[in-house]
Amino acid sequence: MVLAAGLGKRMRPITDTIPKPLVPIAGKTLLDWGLDSLAEVGVEQAVVNVHYLPDQIVEHVASRHAPSIEISDERDGLLDSAGGIVRALPQLGTAPFYIINADTFWIDEGVPNLTRLALAWDGARMDILLMLADLNQATGHSGSTDFLVAPDGRLSRAKGAPEGLIYAGAAIIHPRIFKDAPVGPASLNRYFDQAISAGRLFGMQMHGSWITVGTPDAIAPAEAAVKRALAKAS
């Protein structure tokens, strides 16, 4: 599931005419950075939700073959992160699936992070497994930390603690957590907190560089970070 329906208000004026997922960084759209990461680890089908300037995204992904793209249409109303997933559940099926944000991406170092995430997944213990980054791995992040990681990998809210990690916009989720969820706007943070309460929210720190592009002036640092990371990887 690729979350691509946001309004991208902080990216104006660029997003006055294009949706944020189609903003190019180092010669590739934000959306394609994510879809290429999925294709690299063998994902054959992805659902992309759309709301703002949706026809541009539909047209852009129409030529992709890996992964094959299905559209989840939210033109009638923006559903937020969890609500968008609930709308798309009939397309996603009953097995655990990746979710990625279409406005952040990463440069792998070694084994692809999505492969590492799949290898770390344990559905008997976990409802959600988040990919995490530390502040030193991040470019463009202007907030604080999100989660503290216990020795067994369980997560709790960091509340900005300096030793905490950032949610890096990729995860594996089991669709059972959305059982009987109403269709309508809802944030994934609600489900993160429910999983914390149940002891079933886990995290894995990524390897490599994580990049988020929130405003137009973040584009140049993002492109510089890509150049550094690719040079390092080669």
Per-residue pLDDT averaged across 178-184, rounded?
88
**Predicted pLDDT at 32:** 95
Per-residue pLDDT averaged across 111-118, rounded?
96
Assign 121 a pLDDT band (cuts: 50, 70, 90): very high
Alpha helical stretches, state H, the chain = 30-40, 54-61, 80-92, 113-120, 188-197, 219-233
d(CA 145, CA 147): 6
**Predicted pLDDT at 71:** 94
d(CA 204, CA 3): 20
Model confidence at 140: pLDDT above 90: no
Per-residue pLDDT averaged across 32-60, rounded?
94
Model confidence at 233: pLDDT above 80: no
Per-residue pLDDT averaged across 156-182, rounded?
92
**Predicted pLDDT at 234:** 66
Per-residue pLDDT averaged across 116-131, rounded?
96
Report which of 35, 33, 9, 1 is spatially closest to residue 225, judged by C-alpha positions. Answer: 33
Report the topology of domain 2-233.
Spore Coat Polysaccharide Biosynthesis Protein SpsA; Chain A (3.90.550)
Model confidence at 210: pLDDT above 70: yes
Query: Which has more confidence, 105 or 140?
Result: 105
